[in-house]
Amino acid sequence: MKKAAVLGIGLIGGSLALCLKERTRLEVHGFDASKESLTLAKAAGVIHEGHMRLESAVEDADVIFLAVPVGSTPRLLNRLATLPLKRGCIITDVGSTKGEIVRYAEGLDNLRGIFIGGHPMAGSHRSGVQAAQSLLFENAYYVLTPLPETPLPEVQRLSRLLERATRARLVIMNPEHHDRVVGAISHLPHIVAASLVNQVADYNASNEWFHRLAAGGFRDLTRVAASHPVMWRDILLSNRESVLALLEDWTREMEGIRRAVKDGDAQAIEAFFHKAKESREALPEGRKGVLPPVYECTVDVPDTPGEIARVAHLLGEKGINLRNIGVMENREDRAGVLRLVFDKEEELKKAVFCLKETGYRVFDPDVD
Ligand SMILES: NC(=O)C1=CN([C@@H]2O[C@H](COP(=O)(O)OP(=O)(O)OC[C@H]3O[C@@H](n4cnc5c(N)ncnc54)[C@H](O)[C@@H]3O)[C@@H](O)[C@H]2O)C=CC1
Ligand SMILES: O=C(O)C(=O)Cc1ccc(O)cc1
């Protein structure tokens, strides 16, 4: 049997491992610095075999996925470059930044032509193998950033494998272009979300009403501020150039709205929100990326067994076709959040109506 090695069995590595196990014939071997993650992954059936030694994890592997924080990726690439890898083996990664990693691999003689950068544009603010799921990447974009000298058949081989395993939409991009685009739609928004949360936390330190009144809008807007600090530290340091340019534009944008408010310039303020509303409404439809697909809603459910089945059953009874159902997060107040995805807008509308009628709290990003 052919073998895949997944290095770093956390949210993304664990989800990829599940995809490979469920939808390919590859034997999936995991490697992680944390013994606990490997034990959990093995017990939960995420991997066939776990390894604490890199050598045994990658020995004879046909494909190797690096799924560690981007700051640890170069060191791991260095180690891989010294190991006797199987002839024809492809190495790829899932890091949120591409320029630095791809250039680093390019500088390692033994990896030239066999490393292809990758980035699945789906994930969550959660981390660890406990949060892994095989539906995570479905319909999301998955970017590959091969260098011009990478042999095309290798790119096609990896692309076909990923398409089958993850059910994502594979696209090819230049690494620097990727970093600028993803910087704008993911890295900058994470900084903004974290800064809003920090600002309010400072106010709240002397007046608890700030947190008590923080409701829907603030929570939705800042969900990603709960993401893994080490992962995000590494991302900003790795995509430094794009992030700095984006922060300058952001500061200019904030200065513009500050001035409009200071001057009482009603027209400028309205124009600011008008442009945002039009752009938000014109975002491409129906694709899961860092932004949610259009035909999707989330439902708050009690954190009790059988709740997913109850929601699915309720919709089934009404003849509503559900494409995908997944658990998004568990909140501190013990409510869980289910994410429901539909193929058609009418199905989403019918589902929202029926769930609300039954007493569920439903959030439809296009209406609420
Ligand atoms: N979290 C997300 O939503 C997304 C993350 N990514 C990228 O995926 C990568 C992994 O992120 P997550 O899975 O979210 O992180 P995670 O924290 O859930 O998992 C990382 C795993 O790597 C292990 N690890 C860390 N350093 C290691 C090393 N040097 N050697 C061996 N194992 C090591 C950790 O023990 C952990 O199990 C990052 O590069 C991130 O930029 C890409 C798309 C989405
Ligand atoms: O939680 C979310 O909405 C995310 O933004 C997930 C995410 C995090 C990092 C990535 O590189 C891609 C996707």
271 lies in the same domain as 212: yes
Same domain, 25 and 161: yes
Q: How far apart are CA 130 and CA 231, in angstroms?
A: 17
Confidence band, pLDDT 50/70/90 cuts, at residue 297:
confident
Which of 342, 296, 338, 337 is CA-nearest to residue 319?
342
The predicted model gives 79-97 an average pLDDT of 97
Query: Looking at the structure, do residues 38 and 120 belong to the same domain, yes or no?
Result: yes
Instruction: Report pLDDT for 310.
Output: 83
What pLDDT, on a 0 to 100 scale, did the predictor assign at position 333?
A: 43
Q: Looking at the domain assignment, is residue 153 inside a domain?
A: yes
Assign 123 to helix, strand or coil: coil
**From atom 4 of ligand 2, which residue's Cα is the shortest distance away?**
124
Give residue 368's pLDDT. Answer: 53
Check whether residue 243 and residue 277 sit in a common domain.
Answer: yes
SS3 15: helix
Domain that holds residue 190: 177-281
Of the candidates 364, 293, 326, the residue with the CA atom closest to the CA atom of residue 136 = 326
Note whether residue 227 is domain-resident: yes
Determine the Cα angle at 201 with ends 197 and 207, to 5°: 140
Question: What CATH number has the domain bearing residue 324?
Answer: 3.30.70.260
CATH of the domain at 271: 1.10.3660.10
pLDDT tens for residues 233-265? 999 999 999 999 999 999 999 999 999 999 999
Are 302 and 275 found together in one domain?
no
- Please state, in angstroms and rounded to a whole number, the distance separating the CA atoms of residues 117 and 177: 13
Examine the pLDDT at 336 and tell me if it is beyond 80.
no
Residue 368 lies in a domain: no
Residue 335 identity (one-letter amino acid) = A
Which numbered atom of ligand 1 lies nearest the CA of 12?
13
- The residue with greater pLDDT, 100 or 150, is 100
Of the chain, the percentage scoring pLDDT greater than 90 comes to 74
Instruction: Report residue 93 as tokens.
Output: 């990664």
- pLDDT tens, position by position, 180-209: 999 999 999 999 999 999 999 999 999 999
How many domains does one find in the chain? 3
Do 78 and 54 form a contact (C-beta atoms < 8 A)?
no
238 and 310 share a domain? no
Q: Which of 29, 31, 32, 328 to mutate to test the pocket of ligand 1 (most atoms within 8 A of CB)?
A: 32
Domain for residue 287, yes or no? no
Name residues contacting ligand 1 (CB within 6 A): 7-13, 32-34, 37, 67-70, 72, 76, 94-96, 119-120, 123-124, 127-128, 228, 231, 235
Residue 330, pLDDT above cutoff 60: no
